[in-house]
Structure 1
């Protein structure tokens, strides 16, 4: 006996193919979306380092601690020990570059930074780690008066996703632009640094200096007051504050800042200038 399908039971072949293609297409879209999200996540996060890199990181952390304590020889030994564990560790070469830079050995520093950059861009590159290398290399180039190349490296550091030291790089870029004589661009960079890090003492001080040089003592004082009221006040910032108070005919503020300068920085060149009355009147 022949059994015929009813209209509800019968599904045309074309419809079946369309349904299959639709499902396959939906799966492909989901897979593509998941891949895109995973790729985006990879650019914003650092993968878990393997055991070799973890051991190298521990030695480099020790090297960094020595470097911060101005123990350059010990820092260099630990950084080299880190590379013996992991020869492809870009951050170790970058720190060695900083050590040679501090030791006034620009050729050795240049070589180390170039090696660090070469390793940092290799696949799979970690943008945040690459940014740190670019920042260090860029600042080195600026100190060598290679302003265009230095600014290019710093701008590349700022463009890396997931980079957490953005304010530091804006500050360094501003200092580089200032050394190059580009005060308008330097101001924009210092403003960017201060927007991200309102307590940044370097950016705040440099902005106040630029205002003072432009003859705007009131604005300079407004920018500087927060710094001189904090624990980050320096001999330079207090001295500038004294000169601004003097220019604005504020004897009480001038005396208060002078007391701070003499109390906290009695042996500074600024305290000596104060004692000798060597003010820089505009």
Structure 2
């Protein structure tokens, strides 16, 4: 369980919330009014500012969207994400629920609300929203919802469900780095070190970013369990060089 707790910490930012299309991509296209067109533009701008971490400007754009069309569901979805980032949890919860009351089949809203619930310790409640997102045949990024369902199932201690969801994420989006890393961690907690190494190496090949301290510490522990001291030392050198003050470096030095 100690290893699982560290794993969840390492994956705390791995899940996917996705406002970047303003809530579109999961519903059919239709002729829209001038008011809805304006609301859509401001909501998409709000999503872009959210992606950049400019939360104040994002909230201003959402306000303009709702001035144009007060019942525009995607605007509430994006505002929920902004308020989640600001830890205004009561308001975020209300916004996500309002968005889903206005459009109960919006897959992005279900996915984002599920991620909010999972991050706030309501993992079991979150799963039903990921599943609701996946029910929509027009949902363009099902791998995202499967990934989040996998990470949140693991956080809830449902390892078998987590494994199934993460494998489905890879089926939907082959070589998704977050799912590969999730499976590497999952198999490490199950003491299947050969599988953990296999998934970690595939993750490493497909991850566009440099390895983090968490990634390197996982790799070190896998190689230590497999008895490959040469490869372990290679990862250890990287960890000490690139992250001398990281918690993972201290854990490595303490455990050596």
Question: TM over 0.5: same fold?
Answer: yes
- Range moving further from structure 2, 227-236 or 88-97: 227-236
Query: Is 1:117 matched with 2:100?
Result: yes
- Kept after mapping to 2: 8 A contact 1:44/1:161: no
Cα offset, 1:247, TM superposition? 1.9
1:172 aligns to what? 148
2:175 aligns to what? 199
Query: Take 2:43 and 2:239, find their aligned partners in 1: how far apart are those partners?
Result: 38
- Kept after mapping to 1: 8 A contact 2:108/2:133: yes
1:272 aligns to what? 250
Q: 1:225–1:87: structure 2 CA closer, same or farther, 3 Å change rule? A: same
Query: Take 1:166 and 1:115, find their aligned partners in 2: how far apart are those partners?
Result: 23
Query: Take 2:189 and 2:153, find their aligned partners in 1: how far apart are those partners?
Result: 16
1:74 aligns to what? 57
| More contact order relative to length (CA 8 Å, sep ≥ 6) | 2
Q: 1:75–1:265: structure 2 CA closer, same or farther, 3 Å change rule? A: farther
In the TM superposition, 1:142-157 aligns within 5 A as 142-157=118-133
Question: Which secondary structure does the structure 2 equivalent of 1:245 belong to?
Answer: helix
* TM-score, normalised via structure 1 length: 0.74
Cα offset, 1:149, TM superposition? 2.7
Aligned match for 1:235, one of 213, 219, 224: 213
Query: Take 1:166 and 1:264, find their aligned partners in 2: how far apart are those partners?
Result: 35
Which blocks of at least 5 consecutive residues in structure 2 are unaligned?
A: 1-25
Cα displacement string for residues 92-133 of structure 1 (whole angstroms, at most 9, x for unaligned residues): 101111112122222111111111011113xxxxx5xx1111
Structure 1 stretches of 4+ with a deviation exceeding 6 A read none
Cα displacement string for residues 232-275 of structure 1 (whole angstroms, at most 9, x for unaligned residues): 3332222111111122222332233234434554443223333x
Q: 1:266–1:77: structure 2 CA closer, same or farther, 3 Å change rule? A: farther
Query: Take 2:214 and 2:241, find their aligned partners in 1: how far apart are those partners?
Result: 14
Cα offset, 1:160, TM superposition? 0.5
- Range moving further from structure 2, 258-267 or 188-197: 258-267
- Range moving further from structure 2, 222-231 or 44-53: 44-53
In the TM superposition, 1:58-73 aligns within 5 A as 58-73=41-56
Aligned match for 2:202, one of 210, 215, 226: 226
Q: CA RMSD in A?
A: 2.1
- Kept after mapping to 2: 8 A contact 1:227/1:237: no
Aligned match for 2:235, one of 245, 249, 257: 257
Q: 1:63–1:44: structure 2 CA closer, same or farther, 3 Å change rule? A: closer
Cα offset, 1:47, TM superposition? 2.2
Cα offset, 1:217, TM superposition? 0.8
1:158 aligns to what? 134
- Kept after mapping to 2: 8 A contact 1:228/1:241: no
